[in-house]
């Protein structure tokens, strides 16, 4: 007997401050991936300090773009996150959206609880899982929960916390260029060169398919930091000292770029030229 094909999986990982009042292209894409008018969306505002306002704002934009039903899952603590009612709502969803706020709070409530397990099940069965800002960071197995900002990577400038593990082998950072988070992401990747760093600008997202390839959407860029063959003084550097990192590879990927996370290489770049109506496609993997 031929085994049944696994359902296609999608993650929509947003760098924060995405457009909600204009064309809202990224959020419109989320609704489409969740099923459009048939979408059953769950909003998780747990990370936010303004939960009622955040729920109202996302409910408005999702229904404006065609979603007929939005539910809310908002456990106060880990005990509440083990309530079967929370898991049941997520199990019925075709799209789950985690808002921004405090990513440490999000990790404290969801990682290793029934609600967190339901998000993992939803992803495995093909529901689209989206998150912005804090909701983006928690997608990976380990996430940045605290850290200094700035361009220079420094030893012990960041803290890692357990994430949901929807995307393995990576560390995600958000508000990347706007809050100068290059240094903290590079410091983590230099210390753990088996991990690939992904930094995402505001109003920008990566759409991840089958946990292997992603395409960049939105106004800014996504950055991939690869230290697999870099030289670093991380084992000897004192706390707070600038890190030596030589030979790291950094990919700056605007909208239209498609990247292979397994091979850590650019696959395609598609650029639309509105002035002449021409689409140019380059396949980096086929170049000499």
Alpha helix ranges (H) inside the chain? 25-34, 51-64, 78-81, 84-91, 103-110, 114-124, 134-137, 182-191
CA 142 to chain centre: 12
For every residue of 202-255, DSSP letters joined together read TTEEEEEETTTEEEEEESSEEEEEE-TT-EE-TTTPPTTPBPPEES-EEEEEET
CA 263 to chain centre: 19
CA distance 254 to 240: 32
The verdict on whether 211 is a catalytic residue reads: no
DSSP 177-197: TTTT-HHHHHHHHHH-TTSEE
Find the catalytic residue in 202, 207, 251, 257: 202
Is 285 part of the annotated catalytic residue set?
no
Of residues 172, 185, 186, the one with CA closest to residue 16: 172
Distance CA 251, CA 92 (A): 37
Active-site annotation holder among 175, 187, 207, 257: 175
Contacts of 256 (CB under 8 A, 6+ apart): 215, 216, 269, 270, 271, 272
Q: Is 123 a catalytic residue?
A: no
**Which is the catalytic residue, given 48, 94, 107, 133?**
133
Residues annotated as catalytic (active site), given as ranges: 133, 175, 202
């Amino acid at each position: 007997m031929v085994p049944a094909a696994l359902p296609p999986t999608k993650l929509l990982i947003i760098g924060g401050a995405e457009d909600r009042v204009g064309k809202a292209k990224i959020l419109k894409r989320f609704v489409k991936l969740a099923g459009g008018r048939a979408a059953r969306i769950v909003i998780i505002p747990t990370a936010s300090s303004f939960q009622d306002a955040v729920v109202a704002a996302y409910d408005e934009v999702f229904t404006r773009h065609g979603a007929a039903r939005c539910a809310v899952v908002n456990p106060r603590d880990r005990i509440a996150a083990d309530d079967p009612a929370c898991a049941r709502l997520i199990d019925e969803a075709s799209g789950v959206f985690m808002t921004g706020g405090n990513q440490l709070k999000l990790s404290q409530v969801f990682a290793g609880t029934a609600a967190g397990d339901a998000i993992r099940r939803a992803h495995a069965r093909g529901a689209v899982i989206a998150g912005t800002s804090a909701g983006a960071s928690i997608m990976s197995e380990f996430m940045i929960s605290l850290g200094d900002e700035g361009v220079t990577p420094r030893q012990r400038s960041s803290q890692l916390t357990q994430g949901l593990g929807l995307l393995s082998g990576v560390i995600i950072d958000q508000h990347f260029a706007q809050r100068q988070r290059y240094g903290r992401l590079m410091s983590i990747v230099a210390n753990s060169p088996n991990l690939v760093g992904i930094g995402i600008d505001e109003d920008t997202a990566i759409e991840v398919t089958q946990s292997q390839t992603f395409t960049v959407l939105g106004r800014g860029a996504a950055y991939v930091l690869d230290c697999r063959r870099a030289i670093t003084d991380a084992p000897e550097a004192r706390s707070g000292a600038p890190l030596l990192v030589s030979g790291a590879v950094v990919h700056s990927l605007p909208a239209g770029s498609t990247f292979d996370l397994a091979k850590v290489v650019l696959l395609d770049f598609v650029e639309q030229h509105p002035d002449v109506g021409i689409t140019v496609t380059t396949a980096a993997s086929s170049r000499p």
